[in-house]
């Protein structure tokens, strides 16, 4: 199926938003592999518009010019090198695939890979796509050709999303060009795809495109017959006719209600017990791709709402740690650069030049404008916890006031205290023994008694999180 990642049991994807390929290759080797990450989600790797008049914003990468692997993050050669080096340390690569549309109307010139294009003329010779490859005007019911009414399914899928020229996904030629792009990446050794704006594409078109894709590359270490992993960006917060379940046949869906649930739960621990709410239409665990924030909603784009971001500091640490400890969905962590201006591109990009590399400080944190949430102590340790308890469910739930704790089967135990002040004997469900507390880096040891109980203590305001597990000592 398209909903299974091939990660040897590793459980967490990290989105290295706007990172360069050379830096990602280094990060796979020096950090992501050893820390137990499953995969990196890239920014769109294909040729895109270069929008100097808006200061080379991050969102220029959501305006494709061709499927040449030549973007602000690097060249095709650098892309191939990154895929090979990451695969070699068991970290897989997932592409952000922007295939609903090409550039906006009114955009023209040369893309990041040197191809000419003209959005108004629907002319993209780098693929090539021309006017017949775009959704016929009479199939879009809105007056101005744009998406205005999210209550009309034809409009959401056949009209122009924020002025972006809409590809005609029913055309076999368009499907084949997209599949060729996917197959090029698969043959290089990529594991999967985040499908951008999938809500604006017909599920049948996605099914046809996916049906044309190759199996994953066995030379890159994937099992024979393995199908690519797909998750579809479908912003479904309830209240609209398009719902995530329409996409379950073609892979997983991004679960945006999870972002809200986590934000609400950190605000009020009493709400942490119902993070997965099927009554609200949330995707079942084996179909959900979950995250605390993404590159859109952290800056008020793409169906924002109540979300925690790196700007929330210790609340963010709590939200991501809880999400990693939970058993719901396949998890993606956001890794950001600092921003005030919501359009700003990555560090170093505002003059159109090269993106700056992250600086790795002596204590393992990042500098140079990069936040590197994935390297925050508690978050990176909880990635190890999630791997160690994979396959178990939540048990021994405890929540009173501003404290929460639970076990993952008999393999691990997690606790969190809103104000970093907690002492209680709780049932851990774990075998008797002496365990290293992960967040403290084994500075604290924990004794689980013969009856499964243990004294759980949290005395740390900044990182008010506790975790022990059977398979993650040391
Ligand atoms: C997505 N998911 O469905 C991406 O996650 C999201 O980041 C993309 O929008 C969107 N779909 C289209 O791929 C981003 C920005 C938009 C930006 C767009 C294209 O959130 O603000 O639009 O990328 O670059 C920009 C301008 C618009 C303009 C449009 C067309 O902000 O004002 O109309 O370009 O020229
Ligand atoms: Ca569309």
Residue 387: is its pLDDT beyond 60?
Answer: yes
Is 296 a pocket residue for ligand 1 (Cβ < 6 Å)?
Answer: yes
Q: What is the pLDDT of residues 361-379, one digit of tens each?
A: 999 999 999 999 999 999 9
Q: Do 262 and 322 touch, CB atoms closer than 8 A? A: yes
**Distance between CA atoms of 362 and 356, rounded to whole angstroms?**
19
Token readout for 29 is 């080797």
DSSP for 274-321? Answer: GSS-GGGTPPPGGGEEE-S--TTGGGT-SS--S---GGGTHHHHHHHH
Residue 7: is its pLDDT beyond 50?
Answer: yes
Residue 341: is its pLDDT beyond 70?
Answer: yes
Confidence at residue 473, expressed as pLDDT on a 0 to 100 scale: 57
Mean pLDDT of 219-227: 98
Question: 3-state class of 198 per DSSP?
Answer: helix
**Distance between CA atoms of 285 and 258, rounded to whole angstroms?**
11
Mean per-residue pLDDT over the chain, rounded? 97
Of 289, 234, 253, the C-alpha closest to 14 is 289
Residue 273: is its pLDDT beyond 50?
Answer: yes
Q: What is the pLDDT of residues 433-448, one digit of tens each?
A: 999 999 999 999 999 9
Residue 304: is its pLDDT beyond 80?
Answer: no
Residues with CB under 5 A from ligand 2 (ion): 100, 157, 166, 200
Find the 169 Cα to ligand 2 centroid distance in Å: 7
Of 41, 53, 145, 126, the C-alpha closest to 86 is 41
Of 229, 170, 176, the C-alpha closest to 202 is 170
- Selected catalytic residue, list 18, 166, 233, 463: 233
Is 98 a pocket residue for ligand 1 (Cβ < 6 Å)?
Answer: yes
Q: What is the pLDDT of residues 15-51, one digit of tens each?
A: 999 999 999 999 999 999 999 999 999 999 999 999 9
Q: Which atom of ligand 1 is nearest to 61's Cα?
A: 24
Mean pLDDT of 237-266: 97
**Distance between CA atoms of 452 and 447, rounded to whole angstroms?**
9
Select from 43, 47, 59 the residue to mutate for testing ligand 1; criterion: most ligand atoms less than 8 Å from CB: 59
Q: Whose CA is nearest to atom 8 of ligand 1?
A: 62
Confidence at residue 472, expressed as pLDDT on a 0 to 100 scale: 83
Select from 62, 112, 144 the residue to mutate for testing ligand 1; criterion: most ligand atoms less than 8 Å from CB: 62
Q: Do 326 and 270 touch, CB atoms closer than 8 A? A: no
**Distance between CA atoms of 352 and 34, rounded to whole angstroms?**
34
Band of pLDDT at residue 414, cut at 50, 70 and 90: very high
Q: Which residue has the tokens 């005609």?
A: 168
Per-residue CA distances from 179 to 26, 187, 209, 233, 386 (Å) = 29, 12, 6, 18, 33
Mean pLDDT of 175-196: 98
**Distance between CA atoms of 91 and 33, rounded to whole angstroms?**
6
User: Which residues, other chains included, contact 220 with Cβ-Cβ below 8 Å and sequence gap of 6+?
Assistant: 83, 84, 87, 189
Band of pLDDT at residue 150, cut at 50, 70 and 90: very high
Mean pLDDT of 41-68: 98
Residue 177: its H or E element: helix 172-188
**Distance between CA atoms of 236 and 243, rounded to whole angstroms?**
6
Quote the DSSP letter at residue 28: I
Confidence at residue 418, expressed as pLDDT on a 0 to 100 scale: 98
354 beta partners: none
Is 302 a pocket residue for ligand 1 (Cβ < 6 Å)?
Answer: yes
| Predicted ipTM of the assembly | 0.96
Is 59 a pocket residue for ligand 1 (Cβ < 6 Å)?
Answer: yes
**Distance between CA atoms of 73 and 322, rounded to whole angstroms?**
32
Band of pLDDT at residue 303, cut at 50, 70 and 90: low
Q: Do 434 and 446 touch, CB atoms closer than 8 A? A: yes
Q: What is the pLDDT of residues 111-136, one digit of tens each?
A: 999 999 999 999 999 999 999 999 99
Buried b (16+ CB within 10 A) or exposed e, 339-371: beeeebbbbebeeeeebbebebeeeeebebbbb
* % of the chain beyond a pLDDT of 90: 97
Mean pLDDT of 179-184: 99
Confidence at residue 474, expressed as pLDDT on a 0 to 100 scale: 41
């Amino acid at each position: 199926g398209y909903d299974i990642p091939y990660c040897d049991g590793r459980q967490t994807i990290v989105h290295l938003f706007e990172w360069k390929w050379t830096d990602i290759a280094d990060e796979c080797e020096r950090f992501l592999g050893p820390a137990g990450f499953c995969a990196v989600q890239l920014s769109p790797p294909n040729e895109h518009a270069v929008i100097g008049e808006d200061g080379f914003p991050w969102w220029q990468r959501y305006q494709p010019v061709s499927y040449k692997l030549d973007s602000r993050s690097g060249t095709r050669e650098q892309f191939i090198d990154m895929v090979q080096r990451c695969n070699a340390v068991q970290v897989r690569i997932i592409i952000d695939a922007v295939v609903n549309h090409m550039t906006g109307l009114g955009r023209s010139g040369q893309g990041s890979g040197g191809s000419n294009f003209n959005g108004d003329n629907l002319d993209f010779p780098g693929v090539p796509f021309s006017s017949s490859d775009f959704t016929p005007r009479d199939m879009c019911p809105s007056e101005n050709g744009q998406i205005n009414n999210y209550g009309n399914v034809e409009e959401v899928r056949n009209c122009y999303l924020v002025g972006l020229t809409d590809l005609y996904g029913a055309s076999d030629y368009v499907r084949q060009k997209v599949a060729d792009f996917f197959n090029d990446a698969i043959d290089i050794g990529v594991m999967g795809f985040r499908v951008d704006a999938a809500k604006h594409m017909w599920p049948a078109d996605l099914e046809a495109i996916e049906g044309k894709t190759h199996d994953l590359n066995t030379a890159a270490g994937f099992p024979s017959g393995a199908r690519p992993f797909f998750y579809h960006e479908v912003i479904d917060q309830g209240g609209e006719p398009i719902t995530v379940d329409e996409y379950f046949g073609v892979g997983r869906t991004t679960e945006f209600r999870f972002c809200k649930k986590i934000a609400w739960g950190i605000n009020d621990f009493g709400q942490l017990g119902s993070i997965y709410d099927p009554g609200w239409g949330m995707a079942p665990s084996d179909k959900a791709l979950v995250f605390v924030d993404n590159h859109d909603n952290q800056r008020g784009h793409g169906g924002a709402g109540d979300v925690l971001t790196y700007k929330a500091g210790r609340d963010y640490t709590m939200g991501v740690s809880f999400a990693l400890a939970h058993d719901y969905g396949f998890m993606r962590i956001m890794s950001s650069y600092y921003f005030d201006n919501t359009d700003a591109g990555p560090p170093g990009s505002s003059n159109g030049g090269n993106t700056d590399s992250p600086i790795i400080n002596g204590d393992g944190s990042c500098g140079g404008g990069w936040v590197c949430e994935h390297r925050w102590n508690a978050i990176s340790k909880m990635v190890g916890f999630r791997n160690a308890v994979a396959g178990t469910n939540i048990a021994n739930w405890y929540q009173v006031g501003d404290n929460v704790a639970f076990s993952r089967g008999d393999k691990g135990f997690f606790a969190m205290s809103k104000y970093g002040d907690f002492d209680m004997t709780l049932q851990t469900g774990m075998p008797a023994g002496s365990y290293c507390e992960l967040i403290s880096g084994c500075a604290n040891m924990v004794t689980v008694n013969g009856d499964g109980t243990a004294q759980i203590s949290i005395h740390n305001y900044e990182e008010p999180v506790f975790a022990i597990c059977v398979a993650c000592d040391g």
